[in-house]
Amino acid sequence: MNDEMIDYVKKVNAQDCAVLKFNVKRIVIKLVESKVETVQRMNDKFYLIALRKGERGFTGKLDNLEGEPTLVPSSIAPRVSDNDRQILKVKESNVDKLMDDVSPLLNLESKFPLYGIITVEKVERSLVTSSGFNGKEEGSGVSGYFRAKNGEYSGQWAFSSTNFSEKQVKDAIERANQYASITGKAQITDGKYDLVLSPLVMGNLMMDVARMASGFAIYSGMSMMNPGDKVGSDNFTLLDTPREDRPDSWAFDDEGVFTYNKAIIENGVFKQPLLNIELSPFFKANSTGNAGWLYPRAWNLEVKEGDESVDSMVSGNVILINNVWYTRFQNYVEGTFSTVARDASVVYKEGNPVGIAERIRIADSLKKIMQTEAISKERFSVRWWDAPMQGVYPFVLVKGVKVTKA
């Protein structure tokens, strides 16, 4: 297993060496006006190499293993674990059948014209290190997002899974249509509002929280959090879950450390920076199995469920934000950001939808977003182009969030 990679590690004879190979098969289906516009089939094979010899190193991408890269001086260089285990893990999935026949994905019945992308992916990931680790994993996944357009109104929803059912497509289209069917204009002014944020919004924003949880972000002064900080409400917990049956779940990280599920933020407290071997001494801790050779990262995310229904969360005077994009940070240390609401931003008065607020922007801080007043019982597994990190998220109610006109 991985013989060419083993030979390469022996040949370069580095103090620390890791060779990571990806073999990715991907089908991308583009939808326009509820019809299949294009079907792209892509195969991509490449190697990521990390070398360290003394004070010199290399970290980068190679198309093949024929040569040895040029080493350069480096103050932070990748290290590998002393794990010398061998592991082979192949996850069985009905998604593999879609590689030969995508027709089950194409039941696109929709009340309104539909736009979007469906992606089917099979990933083979292999790692060999100079410590003797030899691992190979295979995983498959399917994901998609649909945007339903009702004249000047629209709604969007997404789905993701390691196992496919036609109901996933049907439910996502139905929810996109549900938001697109809400019409009428509701005028709002700059101010503070109680917001219900959808799982799509949470996927976008929690991806940034996870980036700030990286030990590298903290080390380089690009994070609003330090271990032990109270950053959210008691009912808010954010997890990194590489051992669940979800897309982008892996048994070992890029340094050969075995992964495990962990709370990043637990009951509102930042518990666990995401660490690799190189950065862990700065935090007087061990690697958390989240390498990234230079930048530790989460594998996939989960916000724990609450005990509220979505109907109860919109029963008062709130704005439900269906989706956001163009998220920009004003200050990483404070976590202040702005993001533009898109698709349906539904204004509710006494529990009734009275119209769509157009061209509005959330302009607050991530810590404010995590001050959750209520969290829904129902959660959704989502990923799409503007939130590519896999996640499972509820709806959340946050009170007194700053909103401005975009």
- 293 burial (CB, 10 Å; 0-12 / 13-18 / 19+) is buried
Q: Comparing C-alpha atoms, which of 300, 288, 250, 296 is closest to residue 137?
A: 250
Phi/psi-derived region of residue 165, left when phi > 0, alpha when psi is between -120 and 50, beta in every other case: beta
Runs of H (alpha helix) within 64-155: 95-98
Which pLDDT band holds residue 36 (cuts at 50, 70, 90)? very high
Phi/psi-derived region of residue 258, left when phi > 0, alpha when psi is between -120 and 50, beta in every other case: beta
Please report where in the chains the tokens 């700053």 appear, as a residue: 402
- Domain boundaries of the chain, sorted by first residue: 15-179, 184-206+305-405
pLDDT digits (tens, 9 = 90+) for 200-255: 999 999 999 999 999 999 999 999 999 999 999 999 999 999 999 999 999 999 99
pLDDT digits (tens, 9 = 90+) for 302-328: 999 999 999 999 999 999 999 999 999
Which pLDDT band holds residue 183 (cuts at 50, 70, 90)? very high
- Percentage of the chain beyond pLDDT 90 is 92
Rounded mean pLDDT of the chain?
96
Runs of H (alpha helix) within 220-345: 310-313
Distance CA 25, CA 40 (A): 11
Residues pairing with 156 in the sheet: 147
Which pLDDT band holds residue 76 (cuts at 50, 70, 90)? low
Model pLDDT, residue 79: 83
> What mean pLDDT is predicted for residues 3-21?
94
Model pLDDT, residue 119: 98
CATH hierarchy code of domain 15-179:
3.30.2290.10
Model pLDDT, residue 144: 97
In the predicted model, is pLDDT for residue 290 greater than 90? yes
**% helix / strand / coil in the chain, to the nearest 5?**
15, 45, 35
Phi/psi-derived region of residue 355, left when phi > 0, alpha when psi is between -120 and 50, beta in every other case: left
Please report where in the chains the tokens 């330090």 appear, as a residue: 226
> What mean pLDDT is predicted for residues 81-106?
94
pLDDT digits (tens, 9 = 90+) for 360-386: 999 999 999 999 999 999 999 999 999
Structural contact between residues 12 and 51, judged by C-beta atoms closer than 8 angstroms? yes
> What mean pLDDT is predicted for residues 322-348?
97
